Chain A
């Protein structure tokens, strides 16, 4: 099946700093990628849809200036959490869309101290 990678897998940062998470589709091209957030023992919450070469579309309640998304190529989308605060600590998962489904990355655990 299709492989999606994320980097880093785990990051700890100080409050007020920015953190960039990369999502790559390794063996296929994806014009559309998605960013999700998952709290402990909860389901995935869609944050935004990232389309190659255009601005991301954010779900209601997600601050676009706080969660910057860039989809510069057909295999890479990045999510930057700006001025991170402890409440941003979460598990961030990306996915890349094919014609019929989405393949997910392994996730990035963010801890903001």
Chain B
């Protein structure tokens, strides 16, 4: 079945860039997503990329997609302590009811000042 893999932890210093990596298996994925979850909260959509793109930039966020290697990354420039959270990579996948999201286990980003 479909699978999404992420590293579990990343620790950076304030002001540095953070790069969170993700690999997926479903080559038919149409969209790939990055969500942010703060403690006790729901998921906030950060950005998403269509599978025919290889890069998308949105302010401090840069998403890179290598479709050949099925590798997705999220770069956060000038990381701030408020960026500390869990970041989930997700791919869209067809299930019997339509399209659902398959999530990775999440990468916990810790930003120290």
Contacts and interface: CB of A to CB of B under 8 A. Distances in A.
Contacts of A75: none
B40 interface: yes
Query: Which secondary structure characterizes the binding site on chain B?
Result: strand
A103 B45 contact: yes
Contacts of B35: 104
B103 A43 contact: yes
A46 interface: yes
A110 to B, nearest CB: 13
B101 A102 contact: yes
A97 interface: yes
What bracket does the count of chain B residues touching chain A fall in? Answer: 20 to 34
B31 A97 contact: no
B100 A34 contact: yes
A100 B35 CA distance: 14
Interface residues of A, number: 25
- A interface: dominant SS: strand
Contact of A49 (B41, B45, B97, B106): B97
Interface of A: 1, 4, 6, 32, 34, 42-44, 46, 49, 51, 57, 59, 93, 95, 97, 100-107, 109
Given A43-B104, A95-B43, 17 more contacts: A32-B97, A34-B101, A42-B105, A43-B88, A43-B103, A44-B88, A44-B101, A46-B101, A49-B98, A49-B100, A51-B97, A51-B98, A93-B43, A95-B101, A97-B98, A106-B41, A106-B42
